[in-house]
């Protein structure tokens, strides 16, 4: 019988949450606690990048004060995402099958379009993925942290190299900003990790953003 994995659910803005997130969490936490040794870590302040950094510090402090306890997986969920237990399990299944970092897919309105929150590099910055780039599980350059999971070793190594702020922002000469999520992904890639997106694992933003029509995905994973 396999030993339960130790997981940390990371919610970086936990004071005011959308009801759809609260409903998802309430419907999921019991099942998660049965399947995994589960802790929820949350911080509530206006600065999301510092909240993410503080959650990492809390995770390491928890390990230090709990002899014999080491976190296996970190699950990051923003407080405006609705999700299910089966979707969380699917994220973790990717980690169990060899991935180090995996994101589900959720969408934001960009102008008159709705695009997945995942990116490819373009010059010094990033460009959004397009519909035609969504096919099964794909390697990308960066994702948002709205619904993603990583092996704890990724967090440990990135934190060790870039502490106290593995999540940070970078400002470009053209006035654009590399966000804390994008910069963390850059740093993870520098350490040899790959960033993956499961384009068939679609969760909903609380505002209701979903793709305008169902995508036709290939189930063959593309290794790029």
Whose tokens are 């929150």? That residue is: 117
> CA-CA distances (angstroms) from residue 168 to 3, 19, 99, 184?
35, 29, 24, 7
**Residue 183 and residue 169 in contact, taking contact as beta carbons nearer than 8 Å:** yes
* Burial of 14: CB neighbours in 10 Å, binned 0-12, 13-18, 19+: middle
Write down the pLDDT at residue 134. 87
Write down the pLDDT at residue 224. 40
Q: Domain 6-205: give its CATH code.
A: 3.90.550.40
C-alpha torsion angle, residues 168, 196, 63, 41 (rounded to 10): 70
Write down the pLDDT at residue 218. 37
Q: Is the peptide bond before 177 cis (omega within 30 degrees of 0)?
A: no
Write down the pLDDT at residue 208. 59
Per-residue pLDDT of the chain (224 residues; tens, 9 = 90+): 468 999 999 999 867 788 889 999 999 999 999 999 999 999 988 888 999 999 999 999 999 999 889 999 999 999 999 999 999 999 999 999 999 999 999 998 888 888 899 999 999 999 999 878 888 999 999 999 999 999 999 999 999 999 999 999 999 988 889 999 999 999 999 999 999 999 999 999 876 566 655 444 433 334 44
Write down the pLDDT at residue 211. 61
């Amino acid at each position: 019988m396999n030993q339960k994995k130790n997981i940390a659910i990371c919610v970086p803005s936990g004071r005011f949450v959308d009801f759809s997130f609260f409903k998802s969490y309430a419907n999921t936490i019991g099942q998660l606690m049965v399947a995994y040794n589960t802790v929820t870590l949350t911080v509530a302040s206006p600065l999301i990048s510092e909240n993410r950094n503080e959650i990492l510090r809390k995770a390491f402090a928890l390990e230090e004060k709990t002899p014999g306890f080491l976190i296996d997986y970190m699950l990051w969920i923003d407080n405006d995402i609705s999700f299910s237990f089966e979707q969380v399990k699917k994220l973790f299944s990717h980690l169990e099958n060899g991935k180090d970092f995996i994101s589900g897919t959720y969408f934001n309105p960009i102008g008159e379009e709705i695009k997945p929150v995942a990116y490819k590099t373009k010059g010094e910055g990033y460009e959004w993925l397009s519909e035609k780039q969504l096919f099964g599980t794909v390697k990308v350059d960066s994702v948002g942290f709205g619904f993603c999971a990583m092996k704890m070793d990724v967090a440990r190594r990135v934190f060790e190299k870039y502490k106290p702020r593995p999540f940070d922002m970078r400002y470009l000469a053209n006035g654009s900003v590399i966000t804390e999520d994008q910069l963390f992904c850059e740093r993870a890639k520098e350490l040899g990790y790959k960033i993956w997106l499961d384009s068939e694992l679609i969760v909903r933003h609380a505002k209701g953003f979903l793709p305008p029509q169902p995508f036709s995905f290939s189930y063959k994973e593309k290794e790029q």
